[in-house]
A and B are shown apart, each in its own frame.
Chain A
Amino acid sequence: MSALMGLSPLLLLVAAGLAIMLVDAFTSERSELALVTAASLFVGAALAGAMLAGGDIAPAPDVVTRYLAVDELGLFFDIVICVGAGLSALLAGGYLREHGFERGEFYVLIIFTAFGAMVLARAVDLLSIFLGLETMSLGAYALVAYRRTSARAVEGAVKYFLLGSFAAAILLFGSALLYGATGHTDLAGIREVVAAGEADATLTILALVMLIAGLAFKVGAVPFHMWVPDAYEGAATPVTTFMSVGVKAAAVAVLLRVLVGAFGDPVSMGLYTGWTPVIMLMAIVTMVYGNLAALAQTSVKRMLAYSSIAHAGYILVGLAAVHEAGSFAVSSVLYYIAAYTVSNVLAFGSLILMGSKGKEAVSYDDLAGAGRRHPMAAFPFVIGVLSLLGMPPTAGFFGKYYVFSAAVSAGGPMIWVAVIGVLASAVGAYYYLKVIVYLFMREPEEDQPIAVPMQSIYVTVALVLAGYYVLKMGITPSRYLDWAASAASSLIG
């Protein structure tokens, strides 16, 4: 039993998902499913947190660790994904009931998608990467299509599904080529062969390009971002929240495991010989494009979708710095993803809070004057967008600070990437502050319906929790940095 202790968050989620499915089948009252779902996810996060803080992880048998890593990095992402999914489930508890389409399968899908994301974040074999990716993606497709009578939701789901499956097929072809080039499907074995220079160079490069393309799609990096705004806008807002935190975090985790884990030798990672320039270029294009496209939006939800593309760019800056800054760069990526998770939940949660039955808040105009009429409801929104912008004393500030200082300490061309990143996030100030301007300094148009915030204990609790951690990570970041550092050192010594 204790041999599988390191995987307990995953096992817990499987049991909880199956139990909720059964409970849902035998009861007609599903009012507390949101609470049960969120509670199981938070318990999963707490289990992982206890193991990470305690520092002793029970070693798992080889048959497990060949496919799923039992290490600090896996536990770190367990926490991030479980917290993101748990908060999204709480938001869904308020949102779905308010807008009248609560069904039990929603919570089951959230749990199993989070499980897939956690498997993906721990995957150390091409086979488990593929299985984790598909478990997560199939759940995410279904979640986007959950509101099946809405033309927007289903159109977003169709686009997400077709492009997602195409990207998965490319990733899979890359995996098969890598197996052919090295004779291994496990990342450790691949690393050995690649580092020794025994792998077929042409096949390996082709495989790496296809793997990066497939994973960049899931992260939502330009030029593989086309699905992001459509899927994010079409999906119900709690689903958008979960996709922008849980799904993205898992994709970052597997990108780290493949690029730094399997292709982490000096040649494959080198500035002139390896994958670093590709990621660097992708980071620049993603930051610039995400921020500029977000400027043009009239819908806050779509603006947040483009902002999540921009944030993927900042994360890639940290990844591109790994070749020189090593473990510091990895831990800056990890801290960023944790800070981004709570900030994004806060921003999307506030958008949910601003709408009520029959009048969902989506565009800037919907928010006009809402802050003056309901200052308490607008307060979390202000903190959320300031954190996404990177203002002290919020989590987002330290996230950006560590990523850019990792880039600067890597030196060389990375300094210029950091400069572009800082300029791009200055552009972001315009559209983030526009939310605050509309909340407090505009009046609604004459004939427009006036936004009334919804009343829901679930949404309130989610916002309080997210807001607490946004401020806590912004004021006393040291504990979370230690966790990120110990997770980073389990990947790169």
Chain B
Amino acid sequence: MGIGTYLALASVLFGIGAAGFLARRNMLIQLMSIELMLNAVNVLLLAFNRAYPGNHDGQVFAFFVIAVAAAEAAVGLAILIAYYRIKKTLDTDDATLLKY
């Protein structure tokens, strides 16, 4: 398989993630969509690394992405829990306290 296949796969994954983030109204599912986007980046990095076999920059980058995604999920879930405790819902349509 050529690099184009992987590029297409990563783009589709990224697109599904972005569409999920924009279309869904549940914050937890939006967070999952973001994780999907980050994993699309990982696919892309690993695929491109095959085109530049001189070093492992892409693969090393992917490890950092995985680690940071975990940290991001930890902070994000903590914020979502704090939000749920107050509002008893995770629907973005109800987050209307601050506007304009």
* Contact, CB under 8 Å: B48 / A176: yes
Residues of B22-47 contacting chain A, CB below 8 A: 27, 30-31, 34, 37-38, 40-41, 44-45, 47
Give the contact stretch, choosing among A150-158, A320-328, A350-358, A379-387. A150-158
Contact of A177 among B44, B54, B97 (CB under 8 A): B44
A50 to nearest B CB, angstroms? 33
Q: In the complex, A178 Cα to B51 Cα: how many Å? A: 13
Find the B residue at minimum CB distance from A182. Answer: B52
Q: Mark B53-83, 1 if CB is under 8 A from A, else 0.
A: 0100110110011001001100110111011
B56 to nearest A CB, angstroms? 11
Q: Which residues of A contact B17 (CB under 8 A)?
A: 169
Asked if A3 CB lies within 8 Å of chain B CBs, one says no
Total A-B contacts with CB atoms under 8 angstroms apart = 121
A91 to nearest B CB, angstroms? 22
Q: Which residues of B contact A151 (CB under 8 A)?
A: 86-87, 97
Contact of A230 among B14, B82, B98 (CB under 8 A): B98
Find the A residue at minimum CB distance from B43. Answer: A176
Find the A residue at minimum CB distance from B61. Answer: A127
Q: Which residues of B contact A176 (CB under 8 A)?
A: 10, 41, 44-45, 48, 58, 61
Asked if B8 CB lies within 8 Å of chain A CBs, one says no
B32 to nearest A CB, angstroms? 11
Q: Which residues of A contact B10 (CB under 8 A)?
A: 176
Asked if A86 CB lies within 8 Å of chain B CBs, one says no
Q: How many residues of A contact B (CB 8 A)?
A: 41
Asked if A431 CB lies within 8 Å of chain B CBs, one says no
* Contact, CB under 8 Å: A155 / B83: yes
A169 to nearest B CB, angstroms? 4
Asked if A148 CB lies within 8 Å of chain B CBs, one says yes
Find the A residue at minimum CB distance from B45. Answer: A176
Q: Which residues of A contact B75 (CB under 8 A)?
A: 138, 141-142, 161
Find the A residue at minimum CB distance from B62. Answer: A176
Asked if A224 CB lies within 8 Å of chain B CBs, one says no
Asked if A149 CB lies within 8 Å of chain B CBs, one says yes
Find the B residue at minimum CB distance from A169. Answer: B37
Q: In the complex, A234 Cα to B63 Cα: how many Å? A: 34
Asked if B95 CB lies within 8 Å of chain A CBs, one says yes
Q: In the complex, A336 Cα to B33 Cα: how many Å? A: 38
A147 to nearest B CB, angstroms? 10
* Contact, CB under 8 Å: A185 / B57: yes
Q: In the complex, A159 Cα to B71 Cα: how many Å? A: 18
* Contact, CB under 8 Å: A154 / B82: yes
Q: Mark A118-154, 1 if CB is under 8 A from B, else 0.
A: 0000000011001100100010011001001101101
* Contact, CB under 8 Å: B37 / A173: yes
* Contact, CB under 8 Å: B86 / A169: no
Given contacts A155-B98, A180-B48, whether A134 and B31 have CB atoms under 8 Å apart is no
B86 to nearest A CB, angstroms? 5
Q: Mark A181-216, 1 if CB is under 8 A from B, else 0.
A: 001110000000000000000000000000000000
Q: In the complex, A161 Cα to B76 Cα: how many Å? A: 7
Contact of B34 among A126, A166, A180, A296 (CB under 8 A): A166
Most chain A beta carbons < 10 A, residue from B38, B47, B48: B48
A204 to nearest B CB, angstroms? 13
Contact of B40 among A138, A173, A230 (CB under 8 A): A173
Most chain B beta carbons < 10 A, residue from A141, A170, A176: A176
Q: In the complex, A177 Cα to B6 Cα: how many Å? A: 12
B27 to nearest A CB, angstroms? 6
* Contact, CB under 8 Å: A162 / B30: yes
Most chain B beta carbons < 10 A, residue from A127, A173, A296: A173
B62 to nearest A CB, angstroms? 9
Given contacts A149-B86, A151-B86, A173-B14, whether A134 and B61 have CB atoms under 8 Å apart is no
Q: Which residues of A contact B98 (CB under 8 A)?
A: 152, 155-156, 159, 229-230, 233-234
A167 to nearest B CB, angstroms? 10
* Contact, CB under 8 Å: B34 / A165: yes
Q: In the complex, A168 Cα to B21 Cα: how many Å? A: 13
Q: Which residues of A contact B7 (CB under 8 A)?
A: 180
Q: Which residues of B contact A233 (CB under 8 A)?
A: 98
* Contact, CB under 8 Å: B83 / A172: no
* Contact, CB under 8 Å: B82 / A179: no
Find the A residue at minimum CB distance from B21. Answer: A166
- For the complex of A and B, list the 6 residue pairs with the smallest distance between their C-beta atoms, beginning with the closest: A180-B48, A169-B37, A176-B44, A230-B98, A183-B52, A148-B82
Inter-chain pairs besides A154-B86, A172-B38, A173-B40, 19 sampled, C-beta below 8 Å:
A130-B61, A142-B75, A145-B82, A148-B82, A149-B86, A155-B98, A159-B95, A162-B34, A165-B34, A166-B18, A166-B37, A169-B38, A169-B41, A176-B45, A176-B58, A183-B54, A185-B57, A229-B98, A230-B99
A residues at B contact (CB < 8 Å): 126-127, 130-131, 134, 138, 141-142, 145, 148-149, 151-152, 154-159, 161-162, 165-166, 168-170, 172-173, 175-177, 179-180, 183-185, 229-230, 233-234, 296
The 20 sampled A-B contact pairs (Cβ below 8 Å) are A127-B61, A130-B61, A131-B68, A134-B68, A141-B79, A154-B83, A155-B98, A157-B79, A158-B80, A159-B98, A162-B21, A162-B30, A162-B76, A169-B34, A173-B40, A173-B44, A176-B61, A180-B7, A229-B100, A234-B98
